[in-house]
A and B are shown apart, each in its own frame.
Chain A
Amino acid sequence: MSAAKTLNLTLKVWRQKNGNAKGKLENYPLNDISPDSSFLEMLDILNNGLIEKGESPVSFDHDCREGICGSCSLYINGEPHGPARLVTTCQLHMRSFKDGETIYIEPFRAKAFPVVKDLIVDRSAFDRIQHAGGYISVNTSGNTQDANSIPIEKENADEAFYSAACIGCGACVAACKNASASLFVSAKVSQYALLPQGQVEAKDRVLNMVKQAEKEGFGPCSNTGACEVECPKGISIENIARMNREFLSASISK
């Protein structure tokens, strides 16, 4: 909508044919990008240009382009989801960049997130952590009690919501020097720990999910707080403190 002038850019993009191949950064000049375009629309333009020239387009994960599905990733100029705060890559707009700028675009790097192709990584480790306990064991029979039969303090309900707002994108892991998944795991643990429905299985849940995260090869948390800064959904590291309390109390009593 703004009539600002378009941008000319140099992109340095990680190209890797598949999980077994070696990758490297390739240079791509790209001109006439509208500052109102999103970062991914900029990559669409790059790709359509590459296809027309008979070259192979850059593969990257994306889907909803509304900042909620958690598909998009990208390590942009050394930061997961790029320079803007509280946004995913798909909600990052080119007005965050300057004319003439060089932009480095790499995949999220972590041992537990192997590269699949170019900028796409395999984040199925997150799913497996959820399989280990990211649920409340209730049958979907429809015969549960009335939803209003257990009042939940608004403050706890709101806190549980903020924890549950995690989109599972993996930026926390990419931001962490230890590639720790603590923010991700703790957000799920916290959501249930804050709700009465989650109490019954709370101990097994935290023990099993933490164990699975270690098994997947995510590192330990050393409280640098980088994850919180880079999280596009503003998930607080207070969740990690809560998870540690839950873990400790579960370890003692189990």
Chain B
Amino acid sequence: MSKLDSKIPEGPLKDKWTNYKNNINLVNPANKRNIDVIVIGTGLAGGSAAATLAELGYNVKAFCYQDSPRRAHSIAAQGGINAAKNYQGDGDSTHRLFYDTIKGGDYRSREANVYRLAEVSTNIIDQCVAQGVPFARDYGGLLDNRSFGGVLVSRTFYAKGQTGQQLLLGAYSAMNRQIAKGKIQMYNRHEMLDVVVVDGKARGIIARDLVTGEIERHSAHAVVLGTGGYGNVFFLSTNAMGSNVTAAWKAHKKGAFFANPCYTQIHPTCIPVHGTQQSKLTLMSESLRNDGRIWVPGKLEDAKAIRKGTLKATDIKEEDRDYYLERRYPSFGNLVPRDVASRAAKERCDAGFGVVANGTNEGVFLDFASAIQRYGKEEALIKGISNASQKELTALGEKVIETKYGNLFDMYKQITDQNPYKTPMRIYPAVHYTMGGLWVDYNLMTNVEGMYAIGEANFSDHGANRLGASALMQGLADGYFVLPYTIGDYLADDIRTGKISTDSPEFEEAEKKAKGEIDRLINNKGTKTVDYFHKKLGLIMWNKVGMARTAKGLKEAISEIAILRDEFYKDVRVPGEADELNQELEKAGRVADFLELGELFARDALEREESCGGHFREEFKTEDGEALRRDAEFTHVSAWEYTGNPSEAVLHKENLEFENVELKTRSYK
């Protein structure tokens, strides 16, 4: 246990962060100029961290694999960002946001971290508005809010369905200001291949220039990973094509513990799979559940007829529909948390009520018809139209829906060729976010000194399930307001260290190893493409390590993944050369790491003999099919230490102590 010190400050929960900030060591401005920090990834967490550290005076080197930092996948977040502003006066507070997040995470996150997150949430909104982020406003000119799953207040700030884009462009603009001043050196189209540890401290990285293929050494006094999640281990996910685990996995292999890898969020509202040629899945924002009602046919024969195409959704009478979320969870209805909504969809589809003919019947309806009618009547009243015809009411209602969700409806139509104003959307759960990640202490430092993990790349704030609109909040909280303090406390000891040399044997060895791995892939000359292996891995993960897991399936997955990994190294074909732009080589390196992570992922799911949040074990459920936590045995973080073989990692437990909330069975009924 001694290996995991969470370094949570003493004192009452609400004073911890303030007391901590009052007592840390600071680095004086002149000394900051002598300190270098490397930031990997330029999404909300990495981008905001890079900008803030540079502004404080550190020399920042920022890296992203995209051609511009503005393209990191935070940009695709749609719905919004939570903050306990209580502008709506509906009873919100720091404590309520903290409580909702702890409960939403199924009591598997760290109280002190979550409270800090809730505490700084309001600063984020102030900061972003000052930067010119155009959040939605009401007619009085004040900021508008909406509601998300798992909560009973409206605390979500948004910019149409493009909140992530606007927030990321805000962070990107803050970076630009520092790039212009020379305080951030930006390395676009660069991928981190290894972290270099010297005398137990992270002191630099090995990176590949993705245009020239050159392998580079970069040194720094600290390394920050803001490299996102690893959902692409499932091949199909809502992640970007390039999203990967490589940076985090290499850090793991260099000693950083990987925490709770099995906590994966399967998002309930994505566009269903259309076929085997599919490359990725597209999310339909959770905000749609404010107005959309989820249902499947109540009769098996109707579901069959819909799949066959002989019956349309609109043909099914109201009494023959099963609004299963409203039926099972009357108090939260369609706005239950994501894990609950996803499992309920799977339960219906497994029982044969699914509505998409994609081989697995995987699909349910998300229906806006009643919202359109409701808004139509409201609008008619506002506009003073009496005796409006049904057609007029529908048109008025559709207009309201268009204002709220227009871009999402357009995107749905573009992808599926169906008009969601007239016929219900078809949706199904898809891999979206990973709550697990590198283990970090209260300072966001991994167990390797000087190596930090922020945003989705760490494990700390969302427990076993993340609430909607909380990822953006965490990314920006870590980058703008938490890391800049905590890293200073560490770097205060480094003011006399001077520039870190890249000529040390540690750099030499790391570079040699990275080059060796590239040569191995390039010279393999097998017969199968990287995608072939990635798709196979994805299927194993989805079928055996997906929404419902069993001990038997997980054991099979562990051995199947190991076999697949062997096959990969025997038979993968990576065309082209190492010293050129080579996208297949990039993919191969990432898939090689996914093939290792997948095994640890399944092992973690196997060891956690309970159901909590996004982790559902068939063996541990209540009589009515709800998740059954086992608090006495599993109120801990599972942090895995790499020992040479992914599934033989050593488990370290950090016990989670709840002093401010009572552990209860989550109920949304």
Contacts and interface: CB of A to CB of B under 8 A. Distances in A.
Task: For chain B, give the interface size range.
Answer: 35 or more
A124 B160 CA distance: 28
Interface stretch (A44-52, A102-110, A217-225, A242-250): A44-52
A236 interface: no
A18 B577 CA distance: 13
A156 to B, nearest CB: 9
Contacts of B576: 56-57
B51 interface: yes
A95 B414 CA distance: 10
A81 interface: no
B132 A157 contact: no
Given A116-B581, A147-B143, A71 B67 contact: yes
Q: Among the interface residues A34, A69, A165, which one has the most CB atoms of the partner chain B within 10 A?
A: A69
B570 interface: no
B618 interface: no
A160 to B, nearest CB: 4
Interface in B556-591: 573, 575-576, 580-581, 583-584
Interface string A126-142: 11001110111111101
Nearest to B403: A158
Contacts of B188: 124, 127
B575 A57 contact: yes
A91 interface: yes
A3 B415 CA distance: 15
Interface stretch (B69-77, B109-117, B540-548, B607-615): B69-77
A191 B480 contact: no
B647 interface: no
Given A64-B73, A147-B125, 14 more contacts: A34-B277, A45-B277, A64-B71, A65-B240, A66-B283, A117-B581, A140-B127, A144-B127, A145-B130, A150-B129, A151-B137, A164-B133, A192-B132, A197-B131
9 contacts: A1-B357, A18-B581, A62-B241, A127-B68, A147-B85, A161-B166, A197-B130, A197-B131, A198-B132
Interface in A33-85: 33-34, 36-38, 40-41, 44-45, 48, 50-52, 54-57, 59, 61-71, 84
Given A93-B415, A131-B176, A138 B137 contact: no
A66 B417 contact: no
Interface residues of A, number: 82
A87 interface: yes
A52 B141 CA distance: 58
A interface, over-half SS:
loop
Interface stretch (B90-98, B167-175, B365-373): B167-175
A153 B141 contact: yes
Given A51-B575, A131-B179, A151-B141, A63 B73 contact: yes
Q: Among the interface residues A41, A44, A140, which one has the most CB atoms of the partner chain B within 10 A?
A: A140
A2 B174 contact: no
Contacts of A126: 68
A56 to B, nearest CB: 6
B55 A151 contact: no
Interface string B614-628: 000000000000000
